[in-house]
Amino acid sequence: MAAKERTSGINRALAIFVAAAGIALAAGAVYADLKKGYYSPDQLGSIQQAAPATLAPDGIYEVSAYPVPTLELAAGEGRQDVQIYCNTCHSPRYITMQPPLPAATWEAEVNKMNKAYGAGIPEDTTRKIIAYLQTHYTPETRKR
């Protein structure tokens, strides 16, 4: 029993020594940074920002427009309806960026836009849009 208590006391003393050594090292590192001039007492707790780059007076600084690929919707009946109604909330390009979706998924998506998001697309136009998407943007038809 006495050996166990002695071992426990040694372990406790070792843990206290390691913690104290860690605190001393951290304090020494902060003190060294203060002495080197990385920090000054009036700058502690503030965020420093680098000075902006100076531009040469005879330099030409021009950037061309970033090229944006235009992905047109596939030609077909219903394209104009898709452009009119879908463009109300998002770009028609959003359709071309989608992976090919099964026909049932396109129907569910258009119905969701109409019912959940309140797109307000008339029923006959909804059918045209669904038919257009199923004709041009399913796994079977997208490969063409």
Structure confidence at residue 7 (pLDDT): 79
The CATH number for 114's domain is 1.10.760.10
In-domain check, residue 113: yes
Structure confidence at residue 69 (pLDDT): 67
**Residues 76-111 pLDDT 10s:** 999 999 999 998 898 888 898 888 999 999 999 999
Is 40's pLDDT higher than 70?
Answer: no
Q: What is the DSSP letter of 33?
A: H
Residues 6 or more apart in contact with residue 86 via CB below 8 angstroms:
92, 94, 95, 113, 129
The total number of structural domains in the chain stands at 2
Residues 6 or more apart in contact with residue 81 via CB below 8 angstroms:
125, 128, 129, 132
3-state secondary structure at position 108: helix
Q: How far apart are CA 17 and CA 60, in angstroms?
A: 62
**Residues 117-141 pLDDT 10s:** 998 999 999 999 999 999 999 998 8
- Residue 87 domain boundaries: 79-142
